[in-house]
Amino acid sequence: MGGTTKSDQTLFVRRFKIFAGSIFLAIALLFLIIKGWASDAVHSTEPHTISESDRDIVDDEAVRRYRLRKKELTTALKKYFDSAIASGDIVGAGVSIVQGDSILIFEGFGKRSIDGKAKIDGKTIFRLGSLSKGFAGVLAASLQADGLLDWNDKVVDYIPGFRFGDSLNTQKVKLSHILSHSSGTPYHSFTNLVEAGLPVATIAQRFHEVTPISEPGAMYSYQNAMFSLSQEVMYTVTGKDIKDLLNNRFFKPLGMSTISMEHHTLTEAKNVAMPHARRKNGWKSLPLTDHYYNAVVAGGINASSLDMAKWMRFLLGHNPEVLSPGTFQKAFNPFVEIGYNNKYYQRWPGHIQSHYGFGWRIHKFQEVDSRETKTMYHHGGSVNNYRNEIALFPEADLGICILLNGNSRLAQTVIPDVYAIVQKMYIDL
């Protein structure tokens, strides 16, 4: 037999190393290919995520744009109201603007009194006048949701001494009619009794003296006395005063800290805008009267711009923990048409039609540029020579409230004027 030589053994070892090295390289190459495929698969199926640092950059940019818009809006509003003050159109104004759940503006412009130097700020208190009616409509909707009353309830069922027209007509007058100024009562019936300070319960017994001008629900005729009967209905179904109801259901939960419904509370407050009347030689300050505190829902609420901002944010649906937006939406449903009578709001740009709901006017208007038809919930208010306006634009999630401490003609155009200013700053509205 022949034996293996040393040279043969050396050659075998060298060939084995070459073979083993090739196998190792092949395995390594295969591993890298598989890893690459897996990496590609991950990148192709997983969504792109923003890192924390990238998110911070995005958030910072949004904050920067928000602050810039707010600064531009404040500057534009200051220019508008400073011009009105300089021309003698107004003494001062409290302005609040809400968009979404953000309070953009609660500012003051001008002076609290023409006789002093104190400036109006966001917490300066004004009398609201008939802006109070909007609170009544929303409160009634809240009580209706709780099953305590119904829009179709007869007024006489809650106020037994109430008589309006004959017995048949009296039975037809419902809560919905007195909240919508469609009871058939002549324009401003017994407003003189409200301003004389008579209790609403006493006034309720006097309507037998009034002759109806229409069937209940047939036509719109603005009221203070008849509207104020709603607070007597709400007292009957709850056993609570209208002030307690508003405070406990809305004002306290919403943190409306400067709001009040008494004459003495207003006179004792330090930061109050005084009322003014225009005279030949300019504005003259007037005393604070006690009119309408007997009929709170008709015109007896006092509030600041900050409180009105909180109220509008709530009405736009951003405090559902206080009341579901679907609940108080019923106050904004058109109930009776307001016929064209050359009212100031019927002359606003693009105005199409107006109705009254429960404590609110509902306007349909056409945007000047886009020609889109939009909705506005609105009310004006005048008491003790204060003059105020509030408007909500549900499609834009926007609210505007202007409080003036003088009965100025500016009130007739201030809502469309300020709306146009806001649109320029927030072009996506």
**HEC assignment per residue over the chain:** CCCCCHHHHHHHHHHHHHHHHHHHHHHHHHHHHHHHHHHHHHHHHCCCCCCHHHHHHHHHHHHHHHHHHHHHHHHHHHHHHHHHHHCCCCCEEEEEEEECCEEEEEEEEEECCCCCCCECCCCCEEECHHHHHHHHHHHHHHHHHCCCCCCCCEHHHHCCCCCCCCHHHHHHCEHHHHHCCCCCCCCCCCHHHHHCCCCHHHHHCCHHHCCCCCCCCCCCCCCCHHHHHHHHHHHHHHCCCHHHHHHHHHHCCCCCCCCECCHHHHHHCCCECCCEEEECCEEEECCCCCCCCCCHHHHCCEEEHHHHHHHHHHHCCCCCCCCCHHHHHHHHCCCEECCCCCCHHHHCCCEEEEEECCCCEEEEEECCCCCCEEEEEEEEEEECCEEEEEEEEHHHCEEEEEEECCCCHHHHCHHHHHHHHHHHHCCCC
More confident site: 62 or 326: 326
For 92-140, how does the pLDDT look when each residue is reduced to its tens digit (9 = 90+)?
999 999 999 999 999 999 999 999 999 999 999 999 999 999 999 999 9
What pLDDT score does 58 carry?
59
For 18-61, how does the pLDDT look when each residue is reduced to its tens digit (9 = 90+)?
444 444 444 444 444 444 433 433 333 333 444 555 555 657 88
What pLDDT score does 10 carry?
43
What pLDDT score does 53 carry?
52
What does the pLDDT average to over 223-236?
98
Kindly tell me if the per-residue pLDDT of 141 is higher than 70.
yes
More confident site: 62 or 174: 174
Kindly tell me if the per-residue pLDDT of 2 is higher than 90.
no
Distances (CA, A) of 133 to 153, 214, 270, 277: 19, 23, 26, 24
The span from the CA of 202 to the CA of 212, in Å, is 19
The span from the CA of 329 to the CA of 141, in Å, is 8
- Where do we find the tokens 């709901």? 357
Kindly tell me if the per-residue pLDDT of 235 is higher than 70.
yes
What pLDDT score does 314 carry?
98
To 10 degrees, what angle do helices 414-425 and 52-86 make?
A: 150
- Identify the CA nearest to 400 among candidates 323, 325, 348, 357: 348
What pLDDT score does 257 carry?
97
- Kindly give, in sequence order, each residue whose CB lies less than 8 Å from that of residue 380, ignoring residues fewer than 6 positions away: 129, 130, 131, 344, 345, 387, 388, 389, 411
- Identify the CA nearest to 348 among candidates 372, 364, 371: 364
Kindly tell me if the per-residue pLDDT of 14 is higher than 50.
no
What pLDDT score does 66 carry?
84
The span from the CA of 96 to the CA of 138, in Å, is 20
What pLDDT score does 224 carry?
98
- Where do we find the tokens 């130097």? 117
- 217 confidence band (pLDDT: 50, 70, 90): very high
What pLDDT score does 43 carry?
37
Question: Which domains are assigned to the chain?
Answer: 66-115+257-288+303-425 (3.40.710.10)
What does the pLDDT average to over 150-161?
97
10 Å CB burial of residue 346 (0-12, 13-18, 19+) is middle
- Kindly give, in sequence order, each residue whose CB lies less than 8 Å from that of residue 231, ignoring residues fewer than 6 positions away: 136, 200, 242, 295, 296, 297
Is the CB of residue 96 less than 8 Å from the CB of residue 401? yes
Q: Residue 260's beta-bridge partner residues? A: 302
What pLDDT score does 370 carry?
85
What pLDDT score does 301 carry?
98
What does the pLDDT average to over 377-397?
98
Rg (CA), the chain: 34
What pLDDT score does 52 carry?
52
What does the pLDDT average to over 390-405?
98
Amino acid identity, position 429: L
Amino acid identity, position 351: H
What pLDDT score does 50 carry?
42
Kindly tell me if the per-residue pLDDT of 88 is higher than 50.
yes
What pLDDT score does 365 carry?
98
The span from the CA of 272 to the CA of 261, in Å, is 14
User: Rounded mean pLDDT of the chain?
Assistant: 89
The span from the CA of 24 to the CA of 28, in Å, is 6
Distances (CA, A) of 111 to 298, 326, 404: 27, 39, 11
10 Å CB burial of residue 367 (0-12, 13-18, 19+) is middle
What pLDDT score does 273 carry?
98
